[in-house]
Amino acid sequence: MANTAGGAYNRRRRKRRLGIMLRLFLWGVIIGIVVAVGMLFFKAEEVHIRGAERYDAALLYDTAAVPQGRQLFLLPRSRIKQSLLDAHPYLHEVNVKIKLPDTVIITVTECQPVAYIDSHGRHWIVDMNGKILESVPLESHSVGIEVRGVTLDEPAVNTYFHSPESGELQKQTYDSLIAALQTYGYFKDIDYIDMTSIADIMFSLKGRYVVRLGVVSDLNAKLGYLTEVLRELEAQKPHLSGTIILSEYTETRMARFIEDID
């Protein structure tokens, strides 16, 4: 009886093992067929560029250099993406997708210039994240906010700015400040930001006010309070000019205003 039960058990094990091997074999055949069909039919014949505004689509097409007739599933998407980012500084993100049966879709997101830094005898135009987008002569008109008090360390287009005096601290301050100023809608009203001292950051506003922000701690609270202060000033004395001091806000929760005296 024991031998009979053991033999039945072994037969069931062999049967299960055989079933598993058969299923693996069938899956291998199916995958092989899919790969073979893909190699034969799914090849890159069309390339569509989407999202480009600053760059001409034909230029991006040439840079991408998608291999014509290349099997879509073997497309070097990482290489295509990196070649575009390396060649065109104003590109922020690149997404490469395939659309069967024969199309490659390249979608790009472009950087937006928001400021410029004077250093090494040039204007260095930067985006929200401090990426250097291009370099132009000082006599050229540069769009955006002038960032004062920053000396760039070996600046190069398509890199992120670095200051030898303060290392990453000045860059981190720039990132935080620019993001907050955009959130509160101040971009269009600012002429310059002075970052000569990280502990005493200043910026102009509406051509009539200088805002002394101090350090970037409590940044959202300071800018939110600044909105209230400006509303009151505009209501009471719409043509007034002067300095709004927020550097003491963390301790006092108040702002001081010093009117300009002609």
**pLDDT tens series, the chain, 262 aa:** 555 656 665 666 676 776 777 777 677 666 665 555 555 568 889 999 999 999 999 999 999 999 888 889 889 999 999 999 999 999 999 999 999 999 999 999 999 999 999 999 999 999 999 999 999 998 887 778 999 998 888 899 999 988 776 567 888 899 999 999 999 999 889 999 999 998 999 999 988 999 999 998 889 999 999 999 999 988 887 788 999 999 988 888 888 999 888 6
Are 57 and 145 found together in one domain?
no
The DSSP bridge partners found for residue 167 are: 163
Q: Do residues 150 and 252 share a domain? A: yes
Is the separation of the CB atoms in 140 and 123 below 8 Å? yes
Pair (238, 183) in one structural domain: yes
Per-residue confidence (pLDDT) for residue 37, from 0 to 100: 54
In the numeric block, the tokens 């303060």 are attached to 166
Q: What is the pLDDT of residue 82?
A: 97
Could you tell me the two tokens for 50?
Answer: 């989407």
The CA distance from 84 to 209, in Å, is 42
Range of the domain at 32: 1-41
Specify the pLDDT at position 31. Answer: 65
Tokens of 179: 């993001």
For residues 56 and 103, membership in a common domain is answered with yes
What's the pLDDT score for residue 63?
97
User: What strands lie across the sheet with 209-214, from one edge to the other?
Assistant: 132-137, 122-126, 115-119, 145-148, 192-194, 201-205, 209-214, 242-245, 256-259
Work out how many domains the chain is built from and give that number: 3
Q: Are 163 and 195 in contact (CB under 8 A)?
A: no
Q: What amino acid occupies position 16? A: R
Which CATH number do you get for residue 87?
A: 3.10.20.310
Q: What type of residue is 116?
A: Y
Determine the residue type at 39. M
200 and 243 in a single domain? The answer is yes
| Tokens representing residue 102 in the block | 């024969």
Domain boundary among 110, 132, 163: 110
Q: Report strand pairing: 122-126 vs 115-119.
A: antiparallel
Asked if 84 and 203 sit in the same domain, the reply is: no
